[in-house]
Amino acid sequence: MRVDIITVEPDLIKSPFENSMMKRAIEKGLAEVHFHNLREYGIGNYRQVDDYQFGGGAGMVLMIKPISECIEKLLAERDYDEIIYMTPDAKTLNQATANTLSLKENILILTGHYKGVDQRIRDKYITKEISIGDYVLTGGELAAAVLCDAVIRLIPGVLGDETSALTDSFQDNLLSPPVYTRPSEFDGMKVPDILLSGNFPKIEEWRNEQAYKRTQEIRPDLLED
């Protein structure tokens, strides 16, 4: 998978890709990530990329010309399965979306900043808009990193145990059951006997029951879906 990220703050987003699973995916050649500094396409000597919004109001808007030039350059080099805009006013990222995107070959991500981007960019180029939650960040860089982490970890070969992702929360609209490791007893608290029994069909049944119970208590909305 190849991911291209357009940003006005490339240094802000690079660190997550230099550690943990995303670093492993890149080193193993399973994913490649490229950052494109929007300011390189800025206007004038000061490389301007933002301007006041028409109609007045607080906050600057990323201009159409620098973004368009950057996207057009990338489109001339390859086709993209999705051109994604990270913005709070979009559908919230979920596991199903991450699963679908993990099957793509080329993804282009545009990160918003300030008050966002000129609407005409969204109308002309964007194929999918994604939010990571009902709150506002300074820019879309951290949101893009969250999206990439959720997607790249699903690529076969990234996780040490490829079946691990299949038991994550939300894969079947349920939260994960509680998990335990050694020691079997700590400060009077014991690991449930069933997990020490070796009866794997019963263990699986217990985990399913616990997952349903936790979901019902914490996220009943998932069961409605």
CATH number at residue 212: 1.10.1270.20
Same domain, residue pair 133 and 190? no
Query: What domain count does the chain have?
Result: 2
Model pTM score: 0.89
Same domain, residue pair 136 and 184? no
Same domain, residue pair 88 and 189? no
User: In the predicted model, what is the mean pLDDT of residues 37-57?
Assistant: 95
pLDDT at 22: 96
Neighbours of 99 (CB within 10 A): 15
| Residue whose structure tokens are 């201009």 | 63
Give domain status of residue 159, yes or no: no
Which of 2-6, 38-42, 159-163 has the weakest average pLDDT?
A: 159-163
Provide the residue range defining the domain that includes 180.
Answer: 169-224
Give domain status of residue 164, yes or no: no
Residue 7 β-bridge partners: 37
For residue 190, which of 199, 198, 182 has the smallest C-alpha distance? 182
Average pLDDT, the chain: 94
**Which of 152, 183, 215 finishes a domain?**
152
Neighbours of 199 (CB within 10 A): 12
Residue 156 to residue 19: CA distance in whole angstroms: 18
Per-residue pLDDT for 17 more than 70?
A: yes
In this structure, the strands spanning 50-52 and 60-62 are antiparallel
pLDDT at 67: 98
Residue 85 to residue 90: CA distance in whole angstroms: 9
pLDDT at 173: 85
**Highest mean pLDDT of the ranges 74-78, 112-116, 172-176:** 74-78
Same domain, residue pair 50 and 113? yes
Residue 158 to residue 161: CA distance in whole angstroms: 9
pLDDT at 2: 98
List of residues 6+ apart from 139 with CB closer than 8 A: 7, 8, 9, 12, 111, 112, 113, 114
| Residue whose structure tokens are 């951290």 | 142
Same domain, residue pair 8 and 99? yes
Coil, strand, or helix at residue 121? helix
Q: Beta-strand (E) ranges in the chain?
A: 2-7, 32-37, 50-52, 60-62, 82-92, 106-111, 128-131, 185-186, 189-190
Structure-block tokens of residue 89: 């006013």
Cβ–Cβ < 8 Å for 31, 147: no
Cis peptide bond N-terminal to 177, omega within 30: no
Give domain status of residue 160, yes or no: no
Residue 71 to residue 4: CA distance in whole angstroms: 10
Give domain status of residue 158, yes or no: no
| Tens digit of each residue's pLDDT (9 = 90 or more) over 138-193 | 999 999 999 999 999 999 999 876 556 656 656 788 988 999 999 999 999 999 99
